[in-house]
Structure 1
Amino acid sequence: MTVLQVLFCLLLPAGALWAGERFRLAKFLGPVTLCYVAGVLAGNVPGLRLSQDTSMRVSEAAVPLAIPLLLFSTDVRQWPRLARSLLISFVGACVAAVAAAAVVGWYFRDRTDEWWKIAGMLVGVYVGGTANMAAIGRALEVRSETFVLLNTADLAAGGVYLIFMLTFAQRLLLRLLPPFTAAPHHEAFEHPGEGLGAWTRHHLRDMGLGFGLSLLIAVVGLGGTLLLVEKLEAGPALLIITTLGIVASLFPRVRTLRGAYELGEYLLLIFCVAMGSLADLRMLSGGSMTLFLYVWLVMGLAIVIHTALSVLLRIDVDSTLICSTATIYGPAQIGPMAAALKNRVLVGPGLTLALAGFALGNYLGLLTAWGLRWLGGR
């Protein structure tokens, strides 16, 4: 049964990617949602008992391997080349995520003992993505049921906001923000694609090299943690892994590894299946509603703060929406968002900022969590 469970976690993402390229509903939901929902359904089939220990081990192995692969494609030297409006809006989105999580987290400090951990995880997901939320949750040793509920609430809130973003957001915000004006420094940067396109024999060598380097970085991160603190702690290990992933991306050969980003995404989908299988739908009552409200308030307040900063600083509407997409949804939704805005020039910079969010998410999330814990203990 354990072997079948591992195979289920490893192979289901391939089916989700295949469905996303052929069916409109699957494409709209996205592979992350499909994998997570499939995991939840598998974990709640009557009479089927999955091993929680196996699911935890699969999820714990996937995250440290996925983070470097996701970071290899970014180039921190390109960040200063982005348009000033995009950089300011991106910084504003990061500040908004930290501020919203801190304010809402402090309000909920008497309602859950993991309030400061949840705040850090939500900063991670609303600056970077699910991989950051998972890494921070692992580093802070959050309960698995807490992560499952947070991810479920995030998927629900994110779905509502995404529909708004793709339909009415631009027209509504044009009443508050100036329209986009193209400038020479809006450059098109090359970034990896999505889906199964990279899974060809021409990419397998680079994907193998990327996986090997990611494995080496993970081993160094774990070994470095043992040397520094004399015990294996997820927090320092993941910070070391994130830093080494950024450093590796500075080398052109690493940055141009074909298929490395897609392999990182696949590992993240494996994580989603494994974590989904840990969900117990009987938990969706009582205290879980507190966590749902926590997530929705953080996301809503972060969006309001980011928009208010854009109004104050006169950032154009398209840059604001692209940065909101980059931080809340990551690279996957940049293309659809740019298409909805009818502004293809922002695809490259938007992907760059989304990858920058992956790089910064762990740092900002852990700093927020530790800062709130210190304040709460005073």
Structure 2
Amino acid sequence: MSGPLQVLALVGFPALALLAARHVKQVAWLGPVVVCYAFGILLGNVPGVVLSERLSLSVSEAAVPLAIPLLLFSTDVRRWWRLARSTLLSFVLACGSAMAGSALVGLMVRERSDEWWKMSGMLVGVYTGGTANMNAIGLALRVREETLILLNTADIVVGAVYLLFLVTVAQRIALKFLPPFPTATGWDDAPEQVRTALFPRRQVGGMVLALLLAAVLVGLSVGASQVVLGGLEPPVVLLVLTSASLAASFHPAVRHLPSYALGDYALLVFCVAVGTLADASRLGEASLFVFAFCAAVVGVSVGLHFALAALFRIDADTALITSTATIFGPPFIGPVARALRNRELVVSGLTTGLMGYAVGTYLGLGVAWLLRP
């Protein structure tokens, strides 16, 4: 396959996946992320189709740094401190539980894989923030492509099981040991970027500005690494980029740019590109271990979070919505809040989900470096 055609497939397919998710029930049920990964794996393993591994790797390494600022521009840091005390506390406990759970499971299975500490750090990133954080940490730690795709796939499957639990019996079980949700005051507005699945035409100009600003911040972060350290160090680049993006979000003009959907699109491009790097013959060798690792981390992290919520007397709905915010991120807040029959949770859930995007990379890299043999 020629270079331009390969780039077109990597960058263009997510648009088809998003469009199909709106009109095809099966695609909507699977989700664009799963479809993009599946397409990438299929494209990379079709007999007779020769792809440039370097080109796919370049696209994947460019997509995540662009996604980080685009996702963080909409963060309103000042709002964090206006959340109810119980919401902030539950969010902190959920993050701490994810860190402890990932570290504990990693230490227990450290003899099974030389990348166990990297996997622990990546799972901290995704279970405090989101897919962008996990993949950013994976790129920063130079994790193998097979591990990256397996961990993303395991996260999707394990996450689906936990989501089913959240929208069915979770509230009834949680109320057996947590107090009920009290009446609280919430905000009436939710970030428009979070609710936007596709790109409205009226927002194209704002998206172009957001993309240009994101590219500038990426360039500055790379330049800072080159000047200070004399070379390109991915962990430094990503930490500087995250900090710069959060700093930019303090400006109202930046915060109101329609950047969130564009950042989500960049993640889908990453999914396709990484999928093409996955050798199907090698995926089966380690898949069971990675799936078990991921499931164990979720089980320990969620169990510890709810045990701490009971200790601090956090209500059931707040514990469930902050668990959703950290495990899944903002897109799933609405469905879970609806299942809990509690509209007041929507905005606080969205905000803590965005907070997770902001801190996930820091926490994940921190845990990985602490565990590094």
Please give the TM-score of this superposition, normalised by the length of structure 2.
0.96
CA contact (8 A) 1:192 1:262 kept: no
CA distance in 2, matches of 1:114, 1:269: 25
Structure 1 counterpart of 2:96: 95
Worse overlay, 34-43 or 187-196: 187-196
Match of 2:89, SS state, is helix
Percent identity, aligned pairs only?
51
| Alpha-carbon displacement from aligned partner over 1:147-204 (angstroms, at most 9, x marks no partner) | 11111111111111111111111122111211112212x3234313457665233111
CA distance in 2, matches of 1:281, 1:307: 38
The runs of 5 or more residues in structure 2 that have no matched partner are none
User: 2:263 corresponds to which letter in structure 1?
Assistant: G
Structure 2 counterpart of 1:207: 207
CA contact (8 A) 1:101 1:298 kept: yes
CA distance in 2, matches of 1:182, 1:14: 41
Structure 1 counterpart of 2:121: 120
Structure 2 counterpart of 1:129: 130
Residue 39 (1) aligns with residue 21 (2): no
Worse overlay, 49-58 or 345-354: 49-58
| Alpha-carbon displacement from aligned partner over 1:54-97 (angstroms, at most 9, x marks no partner) | 11111001011110010000111100111111111100110011
Structure 2 counterpart of 1:152: 153
Report 1:321-340 matches (<5 A): 321-340=320-339
| Alpha-carbon displacement from aligned partner over 1:242-299 (angstroms, at most 9, x marks no partner) | 0000000000010011x21111111111111111122222223343322222111111
CA distance in 2, matches of 1:212, 1:346: 34
CA distance in 2, matches of 1:17, 1:254: 25
Report 1:20-59 matches (<5 A): 20-59=21-60
Structure 2 counterpart of 1:276: 275
CA distance in 2, matches of 1:187, 1:7: 41
Residue 62 (1) aligns with residue 94 (2): no
| Alpha-carbon displacement from aligned partner over 1:35-67 (angstroms, at most 9, x marks no partner) | 112212222223323222111111001011110
Worse overlay, 155-164 or 91-100: 155-164
User: 2:267 corresponds to which letter in structure 1?
Assistant: L
Structure 1 counterpart of 2:242: 242
CA contact (8 A) 2:101 2:301 kept: yes
Residue 86 (1) aligns with residue 74 (2): no
Match of 2:26, SS state, is helix
Query: By how many angstroms is 1:351 displaced?
Result: 0.9
Residue 255 (1) aligns with residue 255 (2): yes
Structure 2 counterpart of 1:226: 226
The alignment of Structure 1 onto Structure 2 pairs a total of residues equal to: 372
CA distance in 1, matches of 2:198, 2:298: 33
Query: By how many angstroms is 1:215 displaced?
Result: 0.4
CA distance in 2, matches of 1:194, 1:327: 15
Match of 1:167, SS state, is coil
CA distance in 1, matches of 2:31, 2:308: 30
CA contact (8 A) 1:39 1:277 kept: yes
Structure 1 counterpart of 2:173: 172
Match of 2:23, SS state, is coil
CA contact (8 A) 2:194 2:330 kept: no
User: 1:318 corresponds to which letter in structure 2?
Assistant: D
Structure 2 counterpart of 1:217: 217
Residue 3 (1) aligns with residue 8 (2): no
CA distance in 1, matches of 2:321, 2:156: 19
User: 2:220 corresponds to which letter in structure 1?
Assistant: V
CA distance in 2, matches of 1:189, 1:85: 20
Match of 2:167, SS state, is helix
Structure 2 counterpart of 1:290: 289
CA contact (8 A) 2:193 2:259 kept: no
Worse overlay, 42-51 or 163-172: 42-51
CA distance in 1, matches of 2:165, 2:197: 29
CA distance in 2, matches of 1:196, 1:95: 30
CA contact (8 A) 1:72 1:249 kept: yes
User: 1:270 corresponds to which letter in structure 2?
Assistant: V
* CA RMSD across the alignment: 1.5
Residues 128/78 of structure 1: CA separation in 2 closer, same or farther (3 Å cut): same
CA distance in 2, matches of 1:153, 1:187: 35
User: 2:85 corresponds to which letter in structure 1?
Assistant: R
Match of 1:81, SS state, is coil
Match of 2:112, SS state, is coil
User: 1:171 corresponds to which letter in structure 2?
Assistant: R
Residues 33/312 of structure 1: CA separation in 2 closer, same or farther (3 Å cut): same
Please give the TM-score of this superposition, normalised by the length of structure 1.
0.95
Structure 1 counterpart of 2:341: 342
| Alpha-carbon displacement from aligned partner over 1:93-133 (angstroms, at most 9, x marks no partner) | 10011000111111122211111111111100111111111
CA contact (8 A) 1:98 1:123 kept: yes
Structure 2 counterpart of 1:139: 140
Match of 2:344, SS state, is helix
The runs of 5 or more residues in structure 1 that have no matched partner are none
